[in-house]
Chain A
Amino acid sequence: MQIIARLYALSKRNVILRYKNSLVGFLWGFIKPLIYLLIFIVIFSAQFITVSNYVLYVTSGLIFWFFFSNLTAQSVQNIISSAGLIKAVRMPLILLPLSELLSELFNFLLTLMVYFVVMYWFGMQYSARLFLLLPCIVLFSCFSFGITLVLSSVNVFLRDVGILWNTIQPALFYLTPIAYPASMIPERFVFIIRYNPIYYFIQLVRTVLYESSALSWTIWIQCATLAMLSLSVGLFLFHKLKNQFIAAI
């Protein structure tokens, strides 16, 4: 019970801090993908006429990408910026990244609701299949949380990690087939996609939101494996390092 109250209070703090002195606040969650979408439509849509319903293709990828990118970018600094709390309050430290996940999930769900309406115009079909989005979100959250744990705990000791992550994030974005179809990549570079875990999750989301072909088990199993792997590595590292956080902040 107390854990829930603590998580709620911490998540609320994150939300307040994030949108402090911001004019549109939550709407940023909606506007960010929209801006990218417009840019892509202007630049790319003539290029990729092979993709049927390009707008829906891009949107479904973008909103999930931004969940991942917002979460990781914000929580890289999470432990460091909570130095005051860590030094004063006795609490399970895992609550800090967890609260970051919760507040970003909250933000994401609001965004998703808006896009549920918008995507109808783009040609998304309302059907029972959309409920599969729920396990998608759970798996993607586990995966992102694992990455978050690694980034936020290692960044305490080596600040290069935060800088490095912010630098490679755009590269990661363009290495993931979000704005372009995966089939466009030349044969000899396909391995890049194959080793990009985010690609699998974007693919999974698209089987629910974009495609209407039969569901395949393989992609679900791949994503579940990735999620478990990332989560266990993250938890392991975090627990190894957490006792020394206080020495470095």
Chain B
Amino acid sequence: MQQYKMEMNDKLILVENLALSYWHNNVGVHSVKDLLTLRKNPFTLKPILHDVSFELDKGQSLGILGRNGSGKSTLLRAIAGIIKPQKGRVVVNGSIAPILAIGAGLELELTGFENIKLLLALYGQSKNMAEQINDICIFSELSHEVLNMAAKCYSAGMLARLAFSISLANDCDILIIDEVLAVGDKGFQEKCVQKIYELKSLGKTIIFVSHFPDEVEKLCDKALLLENGTIINQGNVNTICNQYRQLF
């Protein structure tokens, strides 16, 4: 993916004819016979995304809308380079912050502090570790007592706070948000939205998956509507959001 970096300078993200399928496991207790007789391949390919193409300029923000199971989270993972596409290509001209999803990457058996250290090391650090941990403590508003607790004892909102703060700890060009804002309390939601606007005004790109078209309209310059793994429409935010509202 990185090798295409030189090719394009103005585009931040370029996705071309992306196709992605998952192995679907047919192995079950009732299919041992099939396995033995080899009449059926135990694994079939189940297409999740097909022929997805879009591009995004620097500083633009993209909203992704679609029904449950239309492939939004999968598309985000492909953009972030977590899943390799079978066909097509994904070119990204910048650093991507870790995907923000509810409890993403948090190890429930570890304490808050242990999680912070683990994820910072895995994501790669751009700053001094102690400084970053301090930032995370301040932004998440979680007390030291809470951060010394195992993450499995956290409430959903506390997990979201921790995940959100860790993802924001690094300076990155692209921020990917997967419908995470819904669980925080009012104070934290406002703080997050404010932070997102602040990052946007700094020229960062935000890719935003949400089921609230109003939020998407406020935040994004562009949107696309996914249905069954393909883009059925993309372009102006208001048009797309209206189309999304009419789906239901």
Q: Is the C-beta of B36 less than 8 angstroms from some C-beta in chain A?
A: no
List the A side residues contacting B25 at CB < 8 Å. 157, 248
Using an 8 Å CB-CB cutoff, how does the interface string of B11-33 with A read, 1 for contact, 0 for none?
00000000000111101000000
* A20 to B111 alpha-carbon distance, docked (Å): 11
List the B side residues contacting A158 at CB < 8 Å. 27
Binds A, one of B112-120, B133-141, B205-213, B233-241: B112-120
Q: Is the C-beta of B4 less than 8 angstroms from some C-beta in chain A?
A: no
- The answer on a CB contact under 8 Å between B122 and A10 is yes
**SS class, residues of chain A in contact with chain B:** helix
- The answer on a CB contact under 8 Å between A84 and B83 is no
Interface size on B, residues (CB 8 A): 33
- The answer on a CB contact under 8 Å between B122 and A6 is yes
- Indicate whether A89 sits within 8 Å of B119 (C-beta atoms), given known contacts A13-B110, A17-B109, A84-B104: yes
Q: Is the C-beta of A113 less than 8 angstroms from some C-beta in chain B?
A: no
Q: Is the C-beta of B124 less than 8 angstroms from some C-beta in chain A?
A: yes
- The answer on a CB contact under 8 Å between A157 and B23 is yes
* A87 to B114 alpha-carbon distance, docked (Å): 19
- The answer on a CB contact under 8 Å between A6 and B99 is no
- The answer on a CB contact under 8 Å between A247 and B98 is no
- The answer on a CB contact under 8 Å between A243 and B84 is yes
- The answer on a CB contact under 8 Å between A16 and B43 is no
Q: Is the C-beta of B219 less than 8 angstroms from some C-beta in chain A?
A: no
CB-contact partner of B118 in A2, A13, A20, under 8 A = A13
List the B side residues contacting A157 at CB < 8 Å. 23, 25, 27, 43
Q: Is the C-beta of A26 less than 8 angstroms from some C-beta in chain B?
A: no
List the A side residues contacting B103 at CB < 8 Å. 84
CB-contact partner of B122 in A87, A89, A243, A247, under 8 A = A89
Task: Please list the residues of chain A having a beta carbon within 8 angstroms of any beta carbon in chain B.
Answer: 2, 5-6, 8-10, 12-13, 16-17, 20, 84-91, 157-158, 243-244, 246-248
19 extra A-B contacts, CB within 8 A, seeds A5-B124, A246-B83, A247-B22 = A6-B121, A6-B122, A6-B124, A10-B118, A13-B114, A20-B109, A84-B103, A84-B106, A84-B107, A85-B107, A86-B82, A87-B104, A88-B105, A89-B98, A90-B96, A91-B122, A158-B27, A243-B83, A248-B23
List the B side residues contacting A12 at CB < 8 Å. 118
Which A-B residue pairs are the 7 nearest by beta carbons?
Answer: A88-B105, A9-B121, A247-B22, A88-B104, A90-B81, A244-B23, A89-B122
CB distance from B145 to the nearest CB of A (A): 19
List the A side residues contacting B98 at CB < 8 Å. 88-89
CB distance from B171 to the nearest CB of A (A): 16
CB distance from A216 to the nearest CB of B (A): 44
- The answer on a CB contact under 8 Å between B121 and A5 is yes
Nearest A-chain residue to B114, judged by Cβ: A16
- Indicate whether A87 sits within 8 Å of B82 (C-beta atoms), given known contacts A2-B124, A9-B118, A9-B121: yes
* A158 to B23 alpha-carbon distance, docked (Å): 12
CB distance from A91 to the nearest CB of B (A): 6
- The answer on a CB contact under 8 Å between B117 and A9 is yes
* A84 to B106 alpha-carbon distance, docked (Å): 7
Nearest A-chain residue to B121, judged by Cβ: A9
Nearest B-chain residue to A243, judged by Cβ: B84
CB-contact partner of A88 in B22, B84, B99, B108, under 8 A = B99
List the B side residues contacting A16 at CB < 8 Å. 110, 114
* A138 to B83 alpha-carbon distance, docked (Å): 33
CB distance from B112 to the nearest CB of A (A): 13
List the B side residues contacting A20 at CB < 8 Å. 109
- The answer on a CB contact under 8 Å between A90 and B43 is no
Q: Is the C-beta of B199 less than 8 angstroms from some C-beta in chain A?
A: no
Nearest A-chain residue to B96, judged by Cβ: A90
CB distance from A56 to the nearest CB of B (A): 39
Q: Is the C-beta of B80 less than 8 angstroms from some C-beta in chain A?
A: yes
- Indicate whether A90 sits within 8 Å of B80 (C-beta atoms), given known contacts A10-B122, A20-B109, A158-B27: yes
CB distance from A157 to the nearest CB of B (A): 6
